[in-house]
Structure 1
Amino acid sequence: MIRGVRGATTVQKDEEKEIIEATESLLRKMIKENKIEADMVASVFISVTEDITAAFPAKAMRLISGWTFVPVMCMREIPVKSSLDKCIRVMMHVNTAIAQHEITHIYLEEAIRLRPDLQAGDSTQ
């Protein structure tokens, strides 16, 4: 079964170093919390808001040992007027036997506001 594992984070500045570091931190936490190995992953989509232009956040995946061959694609979010600024979102498509309600979705920095109902310790998860 393929399950979607979601994550999001934000950056303060549209600078390559910050974009890559924030994305790497998010990816590593998604991987750790869900016990994901690279060969379990069908693909990864990474989207950014239109105010992020300094780097492809997908470069962060190449910094993680063993993830060289995982297909990853960057794209731009729909520019909704009230959307969160400088936001990076990840959708990882993972082959897993765990139930959908057991997936740990990761929201960091200001992105916590996107899905407060999915934060760790929330019994409605």
Structure 2
Amino acid sequence: MAWKVRAIRGATTATHNSKDAIYRAVKELIDEIERRNQLDPAEIVSAIFTATPDLNVIFPATVARDRPQWENVPLLDLQQMQVEGSLKRCIRVLIQINTPLPQDEIIHVYLGEAKNLRPDWNLAQIAQSR
């Protein structure tokens, strides 16, 4: 089986703009991505986090950097565009991995209010995780 670079998408929301709330939200998101994809951190190429402008007290990558075996993963934080009517207190992640899995076996994770961003993926993935 040939290994390829694939991407895992994920998003969540923080309950409010505090270090604790953001930390909890990002930790839960990464925990679920790792669990559902049986992700080995050694296979991660890089991870890009974005946060809406209303989340500005801690970098999401700080949470990832605290995880076991993530200390050498290249991480980047960016601010999301501020679009009128968009989801508030939202954190997104794009994790690039080396994997033999085909793209349709990658499980994208949407938690909290972010479940509404990709309801098509959310429903498909609920069925997959059963």
Place the TM-score, normalised by the shorter chain, in its bin: over 0.9
Aligned to 2:45, the other structure's residue is in SS state: strand
**Letter of the 1:27 counterpart:** I
| Cα deviations by residue, 1:38-84 (Å, 9 ceiling, x for unpaired) | 11011000000111101101111123211110011100011111210
Match of 2:29 among 17, 23, 26: 26
Corresponding residue for 2:42? 39
Corresponding residue for 2:80? 77
Aligned to 2:126, the other structure's residue is in SS state: coil
Count of aligned pairs between the two proteins: 123
State yes or no: 1:101 paired with 2:104. Answer: yes
| Cα deviations by residue, 1:68-115 (Å, 9 ceiling, x for unpaired) | 100111000111112100000000001111111111000000000000
| TM-score (normalizing by structure 1) | 0.94
Q: CA deviation at 1:28?
A: 1.2
Higher mean alpha-carbon deviation, 56-65 vs 15-24, is at 56-65
For residues 67 and 127 of structure 2, what CA distance do their matches in structure 1 show? 29
| TM-score (normalizing by structure 2) | 0.90
Match of 1:17 among 20, 29, 46: 20
For residues 115 and 13 of structure 2, what CA distance do their matches in structure 1 show? 9
- Give ranges in structure 2 of 5+ residues lacking alignment: none
Aligned to 1:78, the other structure's residue is in SS state: coil
State yes or no: 1:2 paired with 2:5. Answer: yes
